[in-house]
Each structure stands twice: as C-alpha cells, then as structure tokens.
Chains A and B, each alone.
Chain A
Amino acid sequence: MPGMTLAIGSSASLLDQARAGDLEAFEQLVRDHERAVLGTALRLTGRLEDAQDAAQEAFLRLYRNLKKIQSETEVRSWLCRVTINVCHDMRRRKRPTADLADYDPASSAPDPEMSFLDMQRGELVAKGLQTLPEKERQAVVLRDVQGLSTREVAEILGSSEVTVRSQICVARMKLKKFTDKYLRKKS
C-alpha cells in the first residue's frame, strides 16, 4: 500500500549538512517530512492545533538528536516514533474528549452543525479514529496513513508483527462499523 510517501531524494546528504549545522539543510529536511508528520499527528490527535504543536515538538527533538541519527531511513522511522510519543503525551495531559462510540445520532438533539449525517467520509473516519483505543489508532495510522509495512509499524510501536496485524484488523473493522452506522442512516 503506497500510502503517504515521503520525499527521500537527497535527504541523506541533507542529513549530513544539517548535522554540520546547516540550517537551510535542516529546513529542507523539515519540508521533506512535514506533511507526513503533521498528517500523522492530525490523525492521532484529531485537532489541527494539537497536531501542529506535536509536529513542532517532533521536529525540534529531531534537531536536538541529529547526531544520533545515522540515515534518512532512520529519520523517517525516528520521526514516526517521536510523533506517536508526543501525541500520546499530549492526549494524556489533556482532558479526555467525548467518547464518540457512545454517540447515537437518533437519540441526540438535531444539531445540523454537529450531525454526523452531513459529514463526508473523510471527516467521519477522522472522528471514528478518535474512538479507537490508542494502540489500535497508532497502528492503523502508521499503516494506512503513513503506508508503513506491518514490520515497520511493529518496530516503531515496540510490538510484535502478530499483535500489530491484529490491532490493524480490529481497528479497520471498528472504523467500518463506525462509518456504516452513520452513512447508512444518511442513506
């Protein structure tokens, strides 16, 4: 699954230059990975402001740890891991949001702004992601948003491939159930 590809290009030399203190090279490194990092953070946090904060923190940590990173491939997985951790910390600090799994459109007051019936599938999937347990959300985001392989996801999350495969499967089934719940009511 191609997923969201990362521009690798000449980042190997960019990494060397950035390590040598070249800020222009580091900025280019940020450009290469910003879409993937911000997209992942947005899917994990569900809010653009939080995602921007998380992405900023991830890149600042990257800058502070440039000398520890050996290759461009490592930059990618390193950023994934840090983004996951930052978003996890962010969610832990914040008050838990309303559990959308318990939300029933039929029983709620008709609020056109809040109604899921008018949501596009993308927004619905994004909302559904927030109802998943954290590990399942992380696994399915890395697999379906970042397009990483199951093995890569397992390495980043520190789990076994079997566990990750199971988490991804369950997460997809739950998301399907979540979208069906509202899209069928719409139809």
Chain B
Amino acid sequence: MKCSDCQLRIASEFVDSAVAEHLAGCGECREFAEEMAKNQEALRSVHLDPAALTAVRARVMAGIRPRRRFGWVWELVPAAVAVAFAAVMLWPKAPQIGRPDPVVFAKHVPDVPVPAPAPARRIEPARVPAPRRDFARAAHTLRMEIETGDPNVKIIWLIDEKGESL
C-alpha cells in the first residue's frame, strides 16, 4: 500500500488490516495518523466560557418570557372586541344633552283627505269589502312624515282608515 492511499484511508476512518499493517512499518504514516488524531481532538475541545453560555440562555429566555407572560391577553383580544361591540349595539341610548331631539311632527299631505268620521249607523259586514293593503286605497290613508335630525333620513308612516299601518 502506498503512503498516500494509507493516509487517505486514515482521513476517511477506513482503517482495516491493510492500513494497520502499513502503519506498523511506516513512521511517516504513523506520524500522519497521530497528527490527524490531534487535530480531531483539538476540534472537539471547544473551550466555552460559562459566562458565554449563560448570556445566550439569558437572551433566549428574555426573548420568550414577555411573549408568554402576556400571551393570554392576546388570546382574549377577539372575545373582548366582540363583547365591546355587542355592548355598544345593545346599550340603551340616553338623550344627549345640548342636542335637540329629532323633530317629529305629522302633517297632512294635501291630496290625502282626512278620513271621514265613521257613520253613526252600523255598517253591515257583508257590504264592507275586505281591507286590501295596497296603495290603491291611498286616498283613504293618512300619511305621516317624521323628520329626524339627519336631513337625509325621513320616516314615512302610512295608516289606513281603520288605523292600521300599511
């Protein structure tokens, strides 16, 4: 076996009987093997200051702890938002001081006559047609417009002669 082959096998950790036989008779390759072993030992022996290890650990834990300490808060955020939204929507609206209530008034539409008072005599039910909730009977309806504080919002209430809403 050539020395180059022997050294290649040593570097590859492929030490068989042929290598051992060559090493027994070759001082140069024995020295090579010893040097190689010393280098590997030097590689393994990493001298680490305990303070360096502690510093790394402290930095790692510092990077984690804040997140964990308040993690439950973030988990509750969606629920808190939902509760707040529901509270705002369901909270009874109190009158606001300094702001007038929406102006509410009713006025008669000019072309809609006020229904005549019911006749004193009783009307036979058979002669009264079934009430139809359509706008064809608009002539006998009361139209009420309710204006709110918002000029773009107006509530229109239509009532028939029986006082029912259309």
Contact = CB atoms under 8 A, between A and B. Distances in A.
Interface of A: 1, 3-4, 21, 23, 26-27, 30-31, 34-35, 38-39, 42-43, 48, 52, 55-56, 59-60, 63, 121-122, 124-125, 129, 140-141, 144-145, 147, 165, 168-170, 172-173, 175-176, 179-180
11 contacts: A21-B68, A26-B64, A34-B56, A34-B57, A39-B48, A48-B52, A56-B63, A60-B64, A168-B11, A169-B12, A176-B11
B86 interface: no
A170 B52 CA distance: 32
B8 interface: yes
A38 B48 contact: yes
Contact of A145 (B32, B43, B56, B61): B43
B48 A173 contact: no
B43 A56 contact: no
B12 A63 contact: no
Contact of A147 (B36, B44, B64, B68): B44
The 9 closest A-B pairs by CB, nearest first: A39-B46, A169-B12, A59-B60, A125-B42, A144-B43, A122-B42, A172-B11, A169-B11, A121-B42
A48 B45 CA distance: 15
B35 to A, nearest CB: 6
A63 B56 contact: no
Contacts of A124: 42
A179 B39 contact: yes
Interface of B: 7-8, 11-12, 32, 35-36, 38-40, 42-48, 52-53, 55-57, 59-61, 63-65, 68
A141 B39 CA distance: 12
Given A38-B48, A144-B40, A175-B39, A56 B60 contact: yes
A92 to B, nearest CB: 22
Contacts of B43: 43, 125, 129, 140-141, 144-145, 175
Interface of B is mostly: helix
Q: Kindly name the residue among B44, B61, B63 whose own CB sees the greatest number of chain A CB atoms within 10 A.
A: B44
Contacts of A144: 40, 43-44
A26 B64 CA distance: 10
Given A34-B53, A172-B39, 7 more contacts: A31-B57, A43-B43, A52-B55, A122-B42, A124-B42, A125-B39, A179-B39
B56 to A, nearest CB: 5
Contacts of B68: 21, 23
A31 to B, nearest CB: 7
A172 B40 contact: yes
Given A34-B53, A63-B64, A176 B32 contact: yes
Contacts of A30: 57, 60-61
A122 B53 contact: no
B75 to A, nearest CB: 12
